[in-house]
Structure 1
Amino acid sequence: MNTPNASTSNTRTPDAGAGAGARADARKSGDQKPGDRKPHDRRSGGGPAADTVAPTTADAMTADAMLWIELLLRQFPELLTELAPAYRSPSAPRATLSGAHPAPAGPTRAEREEALRAEQAHGLTPSGARTSPLRLHISDAVRDITDGVIELDEAVHDRLRLPRPRREQVSGRLLRIAGLLDRAAADDVLLEHVRDEVRRMARRCTRALGGAEPVVRVSGRCPWCDSVSLRAFPARRAVLCVNPACRCTDRACDCRTDPAHRHAWSKGAWVRLAAESGADLAELTASTADTARREESR
């Protein structure tokens, strides 16, 4: 029977173990061979590759603000077209053929005021040539958006410590704001303000043009009427039950007394709504996100 050689030890000495540990530590600390180092280890901090980094909240907010600006750039000229009168202005020169009688002049101020009083009091519309009715909601929207864009342009320049912006039309100011979004992304408060303001003005423009409010269907059943009638309204950041016969047990809710009112769940009640209706909370939250991409896809 072979016996082990007494001069050979099966256990490492402390010095040998320490030497191996030191060599292992040195290997871990960056003494790898060039072929042993992984590609992502060559990047700063040995973190994930740059092309795998998910977009940050600032990037998403910047992209959303840009989309709202683009939507407003497309719709605002349509709003100005809606505001333009359908008749020729009395101050505009009229082409008159030689020998023809001049066209009758437009109604005087007194005639217009009398026609307005008659229409308000009796619903009567005078016959003959008259001016187009005033569209005050269009005029108010144009003034609100124009003032809002000017104030936003000045606020962005002031926050970024830039010189006061020069005068420009609404479209020019919007393009100028869009060009500063990259610099505004470094300021979370400013970027959120820009996104919220351009979204508000784009919404105002859409409503003035007669656009319908976006609605997203939500899975699950209404806790009150048990029907699949839950709908998310991103512009309101709320979920409503659109079943006309739905009535809740909350005495403070107007759905009990007003047939046109619908029970609504605001953001603070979405967790409970998801639990009671069987809906997915993540899907519900995503459905109520008021983004320009959803507006453009309608």
Structure 2
Amino acid sequence: MAESLTKRFGSVLAVDSLSFALAHGTITGFLGPNGAGKTTTLRMLLGLAAPSSGSASIFGRPYSELERPALRVGAVLEATDFHPGRSGRDHLRMLSRAASLPDARVEEVLRLVELDGAAGRRVKGYSLGMRQRLGLAAALLGDPELLILDEPANGLDPEGVRWLRDFLRAFAADSRTVLISSHVLAEVAQTVDQVLIINRGRLVVEASLAQLTARVGASVRVRTPERAKLQQALQRERIEITTVDEQGLLVHGASCATVGDLAFAAGVPIHELVAEGSSLEDVFLELTSEPQP
């Protein structure tokens, strides 16, 4: 989808030789700190900005070369692209007619995003969360194969966030694909299959969520009344440890099974043995704080 994608704004290198591909039928989280180049990348994928070099393609072709792109791709880059005096229904009707879609599809997507009860109201009276749903409804008009969403949970209440997560999971389960840019890392961790992290316009990591959270910082918390004895056994194996309290240790770079076996061999009773994997936020902060070449 992106191959050596690069974008310069004068002397500023916003996206630097970025390459990645999306797996069919998955949800990919596109993460990075503010100014990392996420929105610029999405704009190039959608033909809204021209790359300085490299290429961006969707289904093997530039977006501008897709026939009836609304039937292949749905996108929401911001939830402010509405005429404030127009109703939600009229906004969608305008878009559907421009794409040669029937008005009946408008009613379908309004029900799909649970906005049918407010469809007759003017958009200027919508909350940010309602505008997010209206934007998603617009993206769904053509029943696309791919959704590209920039910060779709912004403005949603907890119930709305849960609804969005369930909706995206069902969408991907129907052999469709989602690319979702977000700063809500805890929410992304409950939604995505794959993760792309960029920093300063460059790809930091591309991995499955499971691979990423297992990549750094995994540890085992152990409690024993014979902490010193267990500490010596672990140190003999050159396993890194951190003292927590009189009975607790945090063991780094070893599994629960390894710690349990060493404790058993040393005759040390164990009162607690718990794996503590890194959260997505932990991994994100560690990876994006790494110095970039």
TM-score range with shorter-chain normalisation? under 0.3
Q: Larger Rg: 1 or 2?
A: 1
Q: Please, what TM-score do these two structures have when normalized by structure 2?
A: 0.20
Q: Which has the higher contact order (CA 8 A, sep 6+)?
A: 2
Larger helix proportion of the pair: 1
Q: Please, what TM-score do these two structures have when normalized by structure 1?
A: 0.20
